[in-house]
Every structure is written in structure tokens, then in C-alpha cells.
């Protein structure tokens, strides 16, 4: 979470409610992730090239390759966790704004329409329950 707070402080942009990160910060985070992985890939290609040139014996670079891939995986795992928190925070922020906007646009009479719809739903549920009870009542023995 400290990383998220650090990211927030990068923005400098503020709304009335809370500081907001500009879109460019989000783009920079994903771009940095791409550049990091591109660097790991370049390192792996360099190791392969050295192996092909015979600088190291065949398989001699395996330990280095494993170390590079492990470092990449751990870095990506940490960054993915950070980005997930970032996206969840961003989603919550925009969801809250969307909800507030919808509330402002809502017609005050919608409450009455919703109440009428709910009453109708309840009447239909009562009818279904009554039909179910009628099916459960024992029938009188009569004509065969």
C-alpha cells in the first residue's frame, strides 16, 4: 500500500475529495512494467548469444538463466500486486463518482415508480405462494 501512496503523491492533481492520479501516471506504470520485461528478455537473449558463441559451455549458463527468470517472476509478481491494488483503488474511485452522478440524475419520482413495481412483485409472489398452498391441500375423496 505504501507504493500506492507514493504513486498518488506523483500526480500533483487533486479533486475536491481526494488526490487523483493522472492517466499519464497509470500509463507510465504499465510502460515501466513493459520496459522491465523487455530488459529481462534482452538479458536472456544476450545469455543465449554468449552460449551460442561458445563463451560458456553448453548448459553453463543455466544457473544464470534460472536466476534471471526467477528475478523477473518475483519482480512481476510484486508489480502485479501493486498494479492490482492501484486498479482496485481506481475502480472504487470511479464507481463512487458514477454512483453519485446517477443519484444526481435520478428523478425523485423514481422512488414512487419503484415502490409500485415492488408492490406488484409482492402481489405476484403472494399469488404463487397461494397456488403452492392449494396444491398441498389434501383433496376430498369424491368421484372416481
Q: Write down the residue that cell numbers 368421484 correspond to.
A: 143
Q: Domain ranges in the chain?
A: 2-105, 108-136
Distance between CA atoms of residues 12 and 65, nearest Å: 41
Q: How confident is the model at residue 121 (pLDDT cuts 50, 70, 90)?
A: very high
Average pLDDT over the chain, rounded to whole?
A: 82
Distance between CA atoms of residues 90 and 30, nearest Å: 14
pLDDT digit string, tens, across residues 48-80: 998 888 887 767 788 999 999 999 999 999 999
Q: Name the residue among 90, 46, 87 with its Cα closest to residue 65.
A: 46
Distance between CA atoms of residues 59 and 56, nearest Å: 8
Q: Structure pTM?
A: 0.55
Other Cβ atoms less than 10 A from the Cβ of 86: the count is 20
Amino acid at each position: 500500500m505504501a507504493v500506492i501512496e507514493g504513486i498518488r503523491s506523483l500526480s500533483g492533481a487533486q479533486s475536491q475529495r481526494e488526490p487523483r492520479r493522472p492517466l499519464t501516471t497509470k500509463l507510465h506504470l504499465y510502460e515501466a512494467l513493459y520496459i522491465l520485461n523487455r530488459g529481462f528478455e534482452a538479458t536472456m537473449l544476450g545469455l543465449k548469444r554468449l552460449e551460442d558463441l561458445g563463451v560458456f559451455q553448453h548448459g553453463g549458463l543455466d544457473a544464470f538463466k534460472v536466476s534471471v527468470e526467477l528475478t523477473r517472476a518475483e519482480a512481476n509478481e510484486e508489480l502485479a500486486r501493486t498494479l492490482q491494488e492501484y486498479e482496485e483503488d481506481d475502480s472504487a474511485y470511479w464507481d463512487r463518482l458514477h454512483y453519485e452522478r446517477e443519484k444526481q440524475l435520478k428523478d425523485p419520482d423514481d422512488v414512487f415508480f419503484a415502490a409500485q413495481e415492488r408492490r406488484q412483485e409482492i402481489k405476484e409472489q403472494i399469488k404463487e405462494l397461494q397456488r403452492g398452498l392449494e396444491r398441498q391441500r389434501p383433496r376430498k375423496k369424491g368421484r372416481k
